[in-house]
Amino acid sequence: IAVAATGLDNIDLDACARHGVHVANVRDYANQSAPEHAFALILSLARGLHVYRAQVAQGAWSAAGQFCFHTWPITDLAGATLGIIGTGSHGRAVAAIAQAFGMRVIHAERKGASDLRPGRLAFDQVLAQSDVLSLHCPLTPETHHLLSDREFDLMARRPILINVARGALIDAPALVRAMDRGAVSAVGLDVLSVEPPPPDHPLLALAGRPNVVITPHVAGHARETQAREWLVKRENLRRYCAGEPMLSVVDPARGY
């Protein structure tokens, strides 16, 4: 099985290992595209770009009678705190972009961990300190619904929440409740728990709000990124056909 992505939460790896099925994914192909998309969401929500674009297109500025049509709050990123959950290649890339904008970057330790690794803060502490919170971790049994009612209650600074990782990291009904009570100021999502989402998906009810931007799982779909992805998939198939070691996640000969 050649997975056209990095995430493997849609593959039963145990069953593949039992039945002698190799599984290969594509790693690190979106190290530019996904972080850039995450930051595009941050910028749009912090500066209201999508709101102002719509208002200009609808003629509101033309009808305003003034040169400055300021109807939506704008927030500078410089000096704000960005909390990152997941410090793999994507999390590190987002941190580098944030530092170029003059943001303070903090990295979360694993949820519930008793020991803190160097350079990390306790998970709950990151939730409490962040003005922007960005998710960059894989979906596993441990990270499923990583953010739910308890976690949203800890977000003292009403952060902008960004998720370009996996939809089920967030408890969707809990996020709706958090938005309704103002615990989260804005949301930028490229992933939902079911894709494509059914019309009654809880988060689609938020899609029309001005403090919400939802994109259809396209963070890793820049032209350059797709070209890199296909090169890795082609190389995996070539190696498999030639009997050479693959860039494999599951190899039946040695298990995981």
Q: Catalytic annotation on 209?
A: no
Q: Catalytic annotation on 217?
A: yes
Looking at 142, 195, 224, 244, which residue is catalytic? 195
SS3 (DSSP) at 106: strand
What are the phi and psi torsion angles at 2 (to 5°)?
-105, 105
Other beta carbons less than 10 A from residue 149's beta carbon:
14
Other beta carbons less than 10 A from residue 19's beta carbon:
9
Contact by Cβ (8 Å): 224, 36 = no
Q: Please report the DSSP string for 205-247 in residue order.
A: GGTTSTTEEE--S-TT--HHHHHHHHHHHHHHHHHHHHTPPPS
Looking at 27, 47, 217, 221, which residue is catalytic? 217
Q: Catalytic annotation on 166?
A: yes
Distance, in Å, from the CA atom of 189 to the CA atom of 162, rounded to the nearest integer, reads 6
Q: What is the CA radius of gyration of the chain?
A: 20
SS3 (DSSP) at 68: coil
Distance, in Å, from the CA atom of 133 to the CA atom of 158, rounded to the nearest integer, reads 10
Sort strands 23-24 and 160-163 into parallel, antiparallel or unpaired: unpaired
Sort strands 132-135 and 160-163 into parallel, antiparallel or unpaired: parallel
Contacts 24+ apart (CB under 8 A), 51-54: 51/210
Looking at 166, 201, 228, 229, which residue is catalytic? 166
Catalytic residue numbers read 166, 195, 217
